[in-house]
C-alpha cells in the first residue's frame, strides 16, 4: 500500500512543477515593476510632454487617464496619434472644447483621447504601415488606417510628422488635427440640442426691466376676433398715407392726421392697460382736454403725456381738484409739446445730467434727471419716477407712466407760504354783470395755440 501512495505523491509534485512555467508569461516581472513603480524616463508617455504635444498631455491629465495609459504601456507597446498644440488651438471649436471640459462629460473626453491610442507598435515604414485596414483602439472603437500615395491617413486626417517620437515602449505620430469618434460627436450634438431647448423661457415667464429691475406688466389679453388695441396703420407710419407727410404748421388748411381717433386710441389704451382710470376720467369727463388734444394733433402737433397712476391721483385732495381750472392746470403741467420716448429721455439725462422740458402750462418747465437707473421728474417731495415706460407710442402721442403727481415750483412756493401764514389764500369771485353775455370758455391748450397762431400770422379754424 505504501508504494502506490508514494507514486501518487510524486505524480502530483511533477504536475505542479510543470504548471509553473506556463503561468510566467501572463504576468511578466517587467510589467509588474512598471505598474508598481510607474514608467521610466525613457517612456513614450514622458515624451508626450514634449513642447509639440503639451496641449494633448494636459487633456490626458484632466481626463484622469495617466494610470490607464501606464497600464497599457506596461502590458506592451502603444502607438499614439497626437495633434500638435497649434492644431488644437486653431482648429478645435470653442463650443466643443467647453463641452469636453465639463465635468459631466468626462466619459466623452476619455473616449476621445483613448481613440488616439493603439495597443500595438506601428511604424511609418511602407512595409509596416497598412494600405487599408481598421485597428482597434483603447476606446473600444475601430480606427481606419490607409495610405494614399505618399500620404499616410488616420481616418480622414493626414499624418504630418510620422515617427515623431520613438521610444522602446511605443511611438508617437503627429497628425494635423484632432480625431473625433462618432460616439463623442453624437453626445455633443445631443447635448447641444438639449441646451437649445432648455434656453427657451417657459410660457408666461415674468420679464424684468434691466434698468429699473422691476417686472414688466404683461400685455392685456385681446379676445379672439377683436380688433387690436393699437391700430396697425398708426404704428407703421405717422400719417394715414404710406409716405409720411410733413407735419403742417399752425392754421394749415388740410388736416393730415386724425387727431380725435388717435386720442381715442390713447385713452382706450390707458383704460385697458390698467392703473390709469382716474387720468382717463379727468381727460374725458371732468375736463375737455381730450377734445383739445385731438384738435392739436390734427393740426400737426406732437405731445408727450406724463401720466400719474391711480395711486398718485388718489393722493390729491378735494380742494386741489375743486378750484376752477385746477384739473386743467395740473394736467397741462404733465404735457410736453415734444415727442419723447423712455429711451430718448433716459439718454438725454444720461448725457446732460439735468434736462428741462417745456410744458403746455407756460412758462412752467418740468425738470428731469437720472436717478436709480430711471428718469426722475420734479424736485424735492413733489418728484416722480418714470416706472411704466412707453404705455402708448404712435408717432404723435407718447404716454409715459409716473408714480406721483407733479406740481410746478410756483405752486409749491404758494403752498409753503400759505402754510407759514396759517391761513388759506383769499380767492376773488369773478365779476359778472347782468348785461354782459357769458363767453364760452375755451380750453387753455387751444387758447395758447391760438395766441401762437396770431403771432405767426395764421389762424386756426376753431379760433374764430
**Three cell numbers, residue 321:** 381738484
Domain 34-193 has CATH 3.40.50.2020: no
The owner of cell 404735457 is 335
* Per-residue burial over 98-136, b = 16 or more CB atoms within 10 Å of its CB, e = otherwise: ebbeeeebeebbbbbbbbbbbbebbebeeeebeeeeeee
What superfamily does domain 232-412+442-451 belong to in CATH? FAS1 domain (2.30.180.10)
**What's the pLDDT tens digit per position in 90-113?**
778 888 888 888 888 899 999 999
Handedness of CA 417, 418, 423, 426 (dihedral sign): positive
Report domain extents, the chain: 34-193, 232-412+442-451
**What's the pLDDT tens digit per position in 142-164?**
888 888 777 888 888 888 888 88
**Residues shown for the chain:** 464
Return phi, psi of residue 286, to 5°: -80, -30
Position 408 scores a pLDDT of 82
Position 395 scores a pLDDT of 84
C-alpha to C-alpha distance for 378 and 313, rounded to whole angstroms: 16
Position 12 scores a pLDDT of 54
Position 192 scores a pLDDT of 76
Domains 34-193 and 232-412+442-451 alike in fold: yes
Asked if 378 contacts 406 with a C-beta cutoff of 8 angstroms, the reply is yes
* pLDDT less than 70: residues of the chain: 1-39, 50-51, 126-130, 194-206, 211-213, 218-220, 227-257, 411-449, 458-464
Amino acid at each position: 500500500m505504501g508504494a502506490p501512495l508514494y507514486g501518487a505523491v510524486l505524480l502530483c509534485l511533477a504536475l505542479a512543477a510543470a504548471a509553473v512555467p506556463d503561468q510566467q508569461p501572463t504576468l511578466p516581472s517587467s510589467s509588474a515593476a512598471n505598474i508598481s513603480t510607474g514608467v521610466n524616463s525613457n517612456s513614450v508617455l514622458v515624451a508626450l510632454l514634449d513642447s509639440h504635444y503639451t496641449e494633448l498631455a494636459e487633456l490626458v491629465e484632466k481626463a484622469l487617464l495617466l494610470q490607464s495609459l501606464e497600464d497599457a504601456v506596461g502590458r506592451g507597446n502603444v502607438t499614439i496619434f497626437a495633434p500638435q498644440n497649434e492644431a488644437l488651438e486653431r482648429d478645435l471649436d470653442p463650443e466643443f472644447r467647453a463641452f469636453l471640459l465639463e465635468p459631466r462629460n468626462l466619459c466623452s473626453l476619455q473616449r476621445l483621447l483613448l481613440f488616439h491610442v493603439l495597443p500595438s507598435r506601428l511604424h511609418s515604414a511602407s512595409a509596416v504601415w497598412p494600405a487599408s485596414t481598421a485597428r482597434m483602439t483603447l476606446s473600444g472603437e475601430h480606427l481606419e488606417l490607409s495610405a494614399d500615395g505618399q500620404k499616410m491617413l488616420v481616418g480622414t486626417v493626414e499624418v504630418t510628422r510620422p515617427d515623431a517620437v520613438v521610444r522602446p515602449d511605443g511611438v508617437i505620430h503627429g497628425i494635423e488635427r484632432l480625431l473625433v469618434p462618432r460616439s463623442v460627436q453624437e453626445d455633443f450634438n445631443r447635448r447641444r440640442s438639449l441646451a437649445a431647448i432648455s434656453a427657451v423661457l417657459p410660457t408666461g415667464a415674468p420679464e424684468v426691466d434691466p434698468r429699473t429691475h422691476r417686472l414688466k406688466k404683461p400685455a392685456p389679453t385681446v379676445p379672439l376676433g377683436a380688433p387690436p388695441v393699437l391700430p396697425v396703420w398708426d404704428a407703421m407710419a405717422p400719417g394715414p398715407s404710406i409716405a409720411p407727410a410733413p407735419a403742417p404748421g399752425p392754421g394749415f388748411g388740410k388736416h393730415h392726421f386724425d387727431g380725435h381717433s388717435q386720442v381715442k386710441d390713447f385713452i382706450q389704451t390707458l383704460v385697458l392697460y390698467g392703473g390709469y382710470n382716474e387720468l382717463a376720467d379727468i381727460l374725458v369727463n371732468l375736463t375737455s382736454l381730450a377734445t383739445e388734444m385731438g384738435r392739436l394733433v390734427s393740426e400737426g402737433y406732437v405731445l408727450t403725456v406724463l401720466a400719474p397712476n391711480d395711486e398718485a391721483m388718489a393722493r390729491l385732495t378735494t380742494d386741489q381738484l375743486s378750484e376752477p381750472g385746477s384739473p386743467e392746470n395740473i394736467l397741462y403741467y404733465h404735457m410736453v409739446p415734444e415727442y419723447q420716448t423712455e429711451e430718448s429721455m433716459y439718454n438725454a439725462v444720461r448725457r446732460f445730467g439735468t434736462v428741462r422740458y417745456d410744458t403746455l402750462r407756460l412758462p412752467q418747465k418740468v425738470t428731469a434727471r437720472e436717478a436709480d437707473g430711471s428718469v426722475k421728474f420734479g424736485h424735492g417731495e413733489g418728484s416722480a419716477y418714470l416706472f411704466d415706460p412707453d404705455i402708448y407710442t404712435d408717432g404723435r402721442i407718447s404716454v409715459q407712466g409716473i408714480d406721483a403727481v407733479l406740481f410746478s415750483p410756483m405752486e409749491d412756493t404758494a403752498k409753503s407760504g400759505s402754510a407759514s401764514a396759517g391761513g388759506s389764500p383769499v380767492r376773488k369771485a369773478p365779476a359778472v354783470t347782468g348785461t354782459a353775455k357769458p363767453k364760452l370758455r375755451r380750453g387753455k391748450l387751444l387758447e395758447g395755440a391760438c395766441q401762437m397762431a396770431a403771432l405767426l400770422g395764421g389762424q386756426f379754424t376753431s379760433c374764430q
